[in-house]
Structure 1
Amino acid sequence: MHDEHLISVEALASQIDQLILIDCRSDLFDASLGKQQYESGHIPNAAFFALHDALSGPKTPGSGRHPLPDQQALVQRMQSLGANDDSMVVVYDAGSSVNAARLWWLLRWCGHDAVKVLDGGFAAWVKAGYPSSGDLSPRERKQGTGNFAIRTSLEAIIQSDELLENLGSGHHLIVDARAAERWRGDVEPLDPVAGHIPGALNRPNTQNLRPDGRFKPAEVLREEWLSLMTFQAPRIPAAASAPGGEGSALVHSCGSGVSACHNLLAMRIAGLNDDLMLHPGSWSEWCADPKRPVAKGDRP
């Protein structure tokens, strides 16, 4: 389960000339920081994709903070790196793998299953003693244009209006990846309204990681996620008690559709693959419409 979606720094070092490598370090509060970090040093051969650019589309009235990018635009970026339909792609960020999980999800959304997240990110690479590079020459100068193309999507999405229509029906179980204090509505540093979607459980994405930034073992993640579904979901009327239950789907949400991908990745690492959906607009889109209900406090 683990090796299907993650790659260790040791494995990356042994295969680094045989794959497409993308650095997607970013900071929600400083859009320029990721590029600065890349220019200061990155894993050799890595290209750079910014969260606010390559990994997101233009923000529009009523949208979330990080709308999904145009699929064809993302495909063209991948082609410019020399990526082909059969290319293995490895993505990484500073260490938490939140932005890397977003790109992992986006590529799977485009139908590309040969994509892995570097477990522990750039921090793990440096800690292991591997070299970094300051080469800023575009990778596309070193590669021909690839034949990477959109194929049948491997990931599902649900929009806010559809989620609203089915709220309380038991058709969807929502899990919010934000920090507990944001989910409760105690604080809200990024969006104009505090709180959460009614019925949403809370599983901060940071709980997927060990202290060193690597993902917990698959069996631990599986136990934790099944525990959440089994013991927390019954607090919600008509909610399914486990992912993949008849007529149910597990919807991953967060602030803007980024850290939700981290939770979704964790579930796939754990082998919990049935009926998983991303809510791309997440809380920032949900709260943009004052007609949508808001919940606060420590209950879903």
Structure 2
Amino acid sequence: MKTYTTLISPAELRALSNPLIIECSFDLADTEAGERAYAAGHIPGAFYLHLDRDLCGDKTAADGSFRGRHPLPERETFAATLRRLGLPPGRQVVAYDRQGGPYGAHLWWMLRWLGHAEIAVLDGAWEGEMSTDVPTATPSDWQPGEPLVSQIDAATLLKKLGSVRLIDARAAERFRGEVEPLDKAAGHIPGASNRFFKDNLGADGRFKPVEQLRAELQPLAADVVVHQCGSGVTACHNLLAMAHAGLGDGLLYPGSWSEWSSDPRRPIAKG
């Protein structure tokens, strides 16, 4: 049976046998909107994971510093969540959201972080029946493996500024520092390039063809590419796009701008 590791179409999903489907729709301005949408109707058999409750850890570090708006949970905590959903080794997982894939891509990165390679994001809107039934899972004894992806922390990134390629997935006006609706300060990390995550999508809401993504993203490729955004979520959309285009795996800075801008000692650029 074919394994999907980046994107999967609705038709390909319908043809799968026993995938683990997870919806992770979310709205930063209305944090319960995704769960309400799931309750109103979702892909049959899909579970729901909430960004704040299920996919994030403590926002405050042991030393009292701010870790960002959506810091990663402990690996074992997230592994326990996946066991609760009945994940066994090798099972195809399909993540989706209703916002063009940023939250699905975040879940894609997180499963790879726990060593599970059989994870893909639904490309485009589901085309088929919907269900309001909440599935029942049989918990598994699944254990995480070696990470398939890498990350970088703020202190290490600060030391490496100027020697790594840094890509910011936020909208251009936030990147330039013209507006900042969510975080402590406006602007971006010095040396970063801007690639708004929605630029990975075509007018139909699906990811652009591989050849087009590769042509657009190739100029941003480098030996070391660090991806960030506001809080480490939409950056995963760029990570997914680059992986799908065959441009390799970069590093995620999970704390992203929300963590970076919380410390006035860190440098900020605008424009």
TM-score category, normalised to shorter length: over 0.9
Q: In structure 1, what is the Cα distance between the partners aligned to 2:38 and 2:5?
A: 26
Deviation at 1:58, TM superposition (A): 2.1
**SS in structure 1 of the partner of residue 82 of structure 2:** helix
Asked whether 1:266 is paired with 2:248, we answer no
- Written as runs of structure 1 = structure 2, the 5 A alignment for 1:245-284 is 249-273=224-248, 276-284=250-258
Deviation at 1:3, TM superposition (A): 5.2
TM (norm. structure 2) is 0.94
Q: Assess if the C-alpha contact under 8 Å between 2:4 and 2:119 holds in 1.
A: no
Q: Which runs of 5+ in 1 are unaligned?
A: 230-241
- Where does residue 132 of structure 1 map in the other structure? 130
Q: In structure 1, what is the Cα distance between the partners aligned to 2:102 and 2:141?
A: 27
2:258 partner amino acid: S
Q: Which runs of 5+ in 2 are unaligned?
A: none
- Where does residue 77 of structure 1 map in the other structure? 81
- Written as runs of structure 1 = structure 2, the 5 A alignment for 1:83-122 is 83-120=87-124
**SS in structure 1 of the partner of residue 28 of structure 2:** coil
Q: In structure 1, what is the Cα distance between the partners aligned to 2:197 and 2:166?
A: 14
- Where does residue 180 of structure 2 map in the other structure? 188
Q: Assess if the C-alpha contact under 8 Å between 1:243 and 1:272 holds in 2.
A: no
**SS in structure 1 of the partner of residue 44 of structure 2:** coil
Bigger proportion of residues as helix: 1
Q: 1:177 aligns with which of 169, 174, 189?
A: 169
- Where does residue 36 of structure 2 map in the other structure? 36
Asked whether 1:63 is paired with 2:38, we answer no
Q: Assess if the C-alpha contact under 8 Å between 2:4 and 2:92 holds in 1.
A: no
With 73-82 and 253-262 compared, the bigger mean Cα shift is at: 73-82
Q: CA RMSD in A?
A: 1.4
2:72 partner amino acid: L
- Where does residue 289 of structure 1 map in the other structure? 263
- Where does residue 199 of structure 1 map in the other structure? 191
Q: Assess if the C-alpha contact under 8 Å between 2:42 and 2:131 holds in 1.
A: yes
Q: In structure 1, what is the Cα distance between the partners aligned to 2:15 and 2:91?
A: 16
Q: Assess if the C-alpha contact under 8 Å between 1:221 and 1:267 holds in 2.
A: yes
Deviation at 1:35, TM superposition (A): 0.8
Q: In structure 2, what is the Cα distance between the partners aligned to 1:258 and 1:174?
A: 15
1:75 partner amino acid: A
2:156 partner amino acid: E
**Identity rate, percent:** 48
Q: In structure 2, what is the Cα distance between the partners aligned to 1:148 and 1:243?
A: 35
Report how many residues are paired.
Answer: 265
Deviation at 1:148, TM superposition (A): 2.2
Asked whether 1:209 is paired with 2:193, we answer no
2:120 partner amino acid: K
TM (norm. structure 1) is 0.86
Q: In structure 2, what is the Cα distance between the partners aligned to 1:166 and 1:287?
A: 17
Q: In structure 2, what is the Cα distance between the partners aligned to 1:113 and 1:145?
A: 20
Deviation at 1:69, TM superposition (A): 1.3
Question: Between Structure 1 and Structure 2, whose CA radius of gyration is higher?
Answer: 1
- Where does residue 243 of structure 1 map in the other structure? 222
- Written as runs of structure 1 = structure 2, the 5 A alignment for 1:149-188 is 149-168=143-162, 170=163, 172-188=164-180
1:267 partner amino acid: M
**SS in structure 1 of the partner of residue 120 of structure 2:** strand
Please identify runs of 4+ aligned residues in structure 1 that moved more than 2 A: none
Q: In structure 2, what is the Cα distance between the partners aligned to 1:134 and 1:269?
A: 32
**SS in structure 1 of the partner of residue 251 of structure 2:** strand
Q: Assess if the C-alpha contact under 8 Å between 1:85 and 1:147 holds in 2.
A: no
Q: Assess if the C-alpha contact under 8 Å between 2:153 and 2:253 holds in 1.
A: yes
